[in-house]
Amino acid sequence: MKTIDDYNFEDKKALIRVDFNVPLDADFNVTDTSRIEAAKPSILKVLEDGGSAVLMSHLGRPKGKVNPDMSLSHICEKVSEIIGVQVKFAKDCIGEIADTAVSELQSGEVLLLENLRFYGEEEKGDESFAEALSKHGDIYVNDAFGTAHRAHASTTIVANYFSGNKCFGYLLAKEIKAIEKVMRTGEKPITAILGGAKVSSKITIIENILDKVDNLIIGGGMTYTFVKAQGGKVGDSICEDDKMELALNILKQASEKGVKIHLPVDVLAADAFDNNANTQFMDVNEIPDGWQGLDAGPQTLENFKQVILDSKTILWNGPVGVFEMENFAKGTIAVGNAIDEATQNGAFSLVGGGDSVAAVKQFGFEDKVSYVSTGGGAMLESLEGRTLPGIAAILG
């Protein structure tokens, strides 16, 4: 696996695919800079070697049309501030404007190209568009894990034009190693915590990781499909009736593979999907009509904690309750605290997937786990066992 450390960029232009698809407020201020900060080490490595960096990214979904609201010019100053170098901006990503800006770039300088997705060819993986992008650099660096699962021109096709001169940036290399630690090289016992609303959205992940983990903790809305499938009463809790057979099959597969499945035994139920609803702790199998489980109960959290503390490798994907509502966030916070404690005791912990990452950031666990993945969809596809096109393109 070639990384950015395998190259000296002196007098070279690095064409770096970054993921600067960052949230902006109404005044175009960046409200979360973590993706820019994550790309900083790779950019600085190029500059410290005596090279220059040409950055390319998308922002939003302009669907192949120029949309001033989604121009990367809005973030140029913030990128400059974070990197510590005044970043130049090109008002296009290919063509004369971009070519001229790239040709004038000196060692130690950084250029940010305009939004790749202003061209429909980017998402189509167009060869000629990729070739035009390839002319902007001597070495191609992919450091955008968040888009590595897309076979787009800038993430996959462009690599074809850099035979022997392509590598992973620090961020993407870290993502690959973190997932490998869980899926291939992790110290046992390995525990996966899967939450979220639906079994259907996690089924491929569950089937893929059953061969790799020792414990599978199931929380969140998925719980009730498993409980009802085993004859429990779930009241008005979210439940995929058409996936109950699938849930039973997962339990059977886990048993055959020697994987312990840990389901909630008690829940915090409410009489409405509302932060101010009436609440009551009850047995997960005995939720009456008119009530729905919205968070894990105290005995469940104690059980989960013991499993987590006994683990050496931990994957967390999905909250165990409706953490967006304060009164139903305690379970997710408790799981975060247990993972924090296990990590302090030497366990490796990986958090990935949109909602769990959101929860980790909201409750201040970012620096208390070993690694927080920057890519939602890419992370999930990796856990499903798929080879991501953006990664295959560098390895090929």
Tell me 14's DSSP state. Answer: E
Tell me the range of 119-123, 207-211, 376-380 where mean pLDDT is highest. Answer: 119-123
312 catalytically annotated? no
Binding site per annotation, positions for substrate: 19-21, 35, 58-61, 117, 150
Which of 305, 377, 385, 386 is an active site residue?
Answer: 377
Q: What residues have CB less than 8 Å from 233, skipping those under 6 apart?
A: 285, 286, 287, 288
377 catalytically annotated? yes
pLDDT digits (tens, 9 = 90+) for 291-332: 999 999 999 999 999 999 999 999 999 999 999 999 999 999
Same fold: 4-173 with 186-383: yes
186-383: CATH topology is Rossmann fold (3.40.50)
Distance from C-alpha of 20 to C-alpha of 177, rounded to nearest angstrom: 22
Which of 64, 108, 354, 385 is an active site residue?
Answer: 354
For residue 234, give the 3-state DSSP assignment. strand
pLDDT digits (tens, 9 = 90+) for 228-275: 999 999 999 999 999 999 999 999 999 999 999 999 999 999 999 999
pLDDT of amino acid 101: 98
Which of 35, 174, 181, 212 is an active site residue?
Answer: 35
Q: Where are the domains of the chain?
A: 4-173, 186-383
pLDDT of amino acid 354: 63
Q: Residue 220: is its pLDDT beyond 80?
A: yes
H or E stretch at 267: strand 266-270
354 catalytically annotated? yes
Binding site per annotation, positions for ATP: 202, 293, 324, 353-356
Distance from C-alpha of 132 to C-alpha of 113, rounded to nearest angstrom: 13
4-173: CATH topology is Rossmann fold (3.40.50)
For the entire predicted model, the pTM comes to 0.86
Which of 40, 124, 135, 198 is an active site residue?
Answer: 198
The average confidence (pLDDT) of the chain is: 95
Binding site per annotation, positions: 19-21, 35, 58-61, 117, 150, 202, 293, 324, 353-356
Q: What phi and psi values does residue 160 have, to the nearest 5 degrees?
A: -60, -20
